[in-house]
Amino acid sequence: MTYPETRRTDVVEERFGHRIVDPYRWLENDARRDREVAAWIAAQDRATRAHLATLPGRDAFRARLAAMFDHERLTVPRKRGGRYFFTRNAGLDNQPALVMREGPDGPDRVLVDPNRWSADGATALAEWSPSEDGTLLAFGVQDGGTDWRTIRVLDVASGELLEDWIEWARFTTIAWAKDGAGFFYSRFPAPADNAPSAAPVGGHAVYFHALGTPQAQDRIVHATPGQPHLVHIATVTEDGRHAAIYSTPGSGGSMPTIVDLTKPDWPSRTLVSNFDHYWSVVGSVGTRVFLTTQLDAERGRIVTLDLDAVVPGFTDLVPEQEDVLNDVALLGDRLIVLYLADAKTQVKRFRLDGTPDGVVPLPGIGSAGGFSGRLSDNEAFFAFTSYNRPVTIHRYDVAANASTGWAEPNVAIDARIVVEQRFYASKDGTRVPMLIIRRSDITGPAATLLHAYGGYGISIVPVYSPAFLAWAERGGVVAVANVRGGGEYGKAWHDAGRLLNKQNSFDDVIAAAAHLTAEGIAAPEGLAIQGESNGGLLVGAVINQRPGLFAAALPGVGVMDMLRFDRFTGGQLWVSEFGDPADEADFRNLLGYSPYHNIRDGEGYPAILATTADTDDRVVPAHSFKYVAALQAADLGDRPRLLRIDSRAGHGAGKPIAKVIEEVADMWAFAARWTGLAS
């Protein structure tokens, strides 16, 4: 097809003896300030949408996706002062509303409805937290998909907003003081020239906002001016005695600090002075703090620390298990510990002295999480889901170790959908798990969608996905590969797919593709690959290395220029995951797989539909712009290489349901055209 014209420039750099050609660097300019970039975006998007409009099956995908999203969806409630706070989407609302229920069986009242905030539905409710007594609610507002937040405070009884107004919060929690006098949050300095879309990451700090005071008077609680690129996240223990602050370079580990809130000067103690392992504070009982760590336990363990001990030290409470420790909650005088066993959830109980106390029965094989409750309260809640089971909220009786359904969605799913776990060998012999989702009557080769992420120690676990089900219901196969770089098997699994080991992630995906074809799961010429963010990088790298394996590729909001990623917005935070382009060894490794720099002119490439958003301030859209411009300029065969650009959609969080449905319908129709999935 004919693509819009893209101007080439003569930008060339010499770096570590390599001549780096970057002809599309001008596409890094902000479209809000550069008319040429804005015109290029408009032309690309017009061409793409004109092509997508011709694809058969697009309307059918859109209709089915809408039907599977059209059911009530609730989140796990947070109980404060006898009130239950949760979010609810009635079905096809663009954004979930925040709801409060008076007592376990009282009437519901909508407190915050972001669907009234903007005409396009792109202004969303972000982080939120009720005060300990349930009388106040602090919540973040996210506009157009940005990572920036504005925090407001609501009087729950009256429904009136207080005058408190917090700006420039980003990568934040909202953690109330026990007495409700204010809350902790994290922010950056106000961006220069009030231009947040291009603001670099630096100077993050934790502040305390006292209600009724201007933000300029907020108390700085924790910062590291000598390490300006760290991110700091705060929580407060249930008893209100301590604030726990985690400092991290973005990947690899965290440095925990405990703040004593019982003393007027709030003295702090940094418990670990490096970023070699992840730590988290589960809670505290008096001066005894419960923590999780990967120190001397790559799959995680639980330790305690007595802050009043003459010589404080960590004491083992729950040692490392065969499975990976994923989360811990203090509920009803028990430790509820979630483990990942081959990327599926198991939940074990322990007494506060570490004595095993059985397991929490789950409704099936899938993912449980969000355990919410109080140490002194027997009532708790959690969520359960799987690829073929919508999210169900369960009410949990801790003493009886029994749960009942609290919010069960009513959605019609094809009863023939089955989920199967397989294992395959990667290039170096590593055993990698993969989940297969398909109809029970699909026993031969079929159009297959391969999904993977493989980064930041993030585990890809079974969750209800209307997108995946829409593909499988049409007779296709979805394969989810749990490749190295994720956290499915602990720290070692993450480390094996990061920094100089990143190629292992790509090898695992290539091996997954080969396995699907060899085992007769994927049809010949019927395999598509899809991933977003770090997964978008993975897609771009893999199709450069083995373009012939795939009929179609769907890289979403991907990191595509690995030599300049650290120069934009939050990119500096990714150095601990990918490496530093200013370091020669890292540079050579990054250059070896950077999607933008390794397009193989003269090779036959799959059909490619790259997706991004004009307001993504995490992975800036210039990554996708430059990558697609380079694809379109190369001789890669007759299949299309297109760019789909959403407006006011950001990196994904807060994206309106209408936009989600449209985007997935476009992607699946595109992949179906080239994999042979029946329209």
Active-site annotation, residues: 533, 651
- Residue 116: φ, ψ to 5°: -95, 0
Give just the sign of the alpha carbon dihedral 180, 182, 187, 190: positive
Between CA 649 and CA 532 the distance in angstroms is 14
Q: How buried is residue 497: exposed, middle or buried, by Cβ count under 10 Å (0-12/13-18/19+)? A: buried
SS (HEC) of 444-504? CCEEEEEECCCCCCCCCCCCCCHHHHHHHHCCCEEEEECCECECCCCHHHHHCCCHHHCHH
Cα separation, 309 vs 315, in Å, equals 12
**CB of 450 within 8 A of CB of 433?**
no
- Tokens coding 335: 């430790």
DSSP bridge pairs for 657: none
Is residue 86 within a helix (H) or strand (E), and if so which, with residue range? strand 83-89
Give the chain's length.
679
Are 363 and 373 in contact by the 8 Å Cβ rule? The answer is no
Spatial separation of the C-alpha atoms in residues 653 and 171, rounded to whole Å: 12
3-state secondary structure at position 258: strand
How many other β-carbons are positioned within 10 Å of the β-carbon of residue 236?
23
Both tokens of 212, joined, read 């009724």
SS3 assignment, position 39 = helix
Q: Could you tell me which of 73, 74, 84 has the C-alpha nearest to residue 106?
A: 84
Composition of the chain by helix, strand, coil, percent to 5: 20, 35, 40
Q: What DSSP state is assigned to residue 602?
A: T
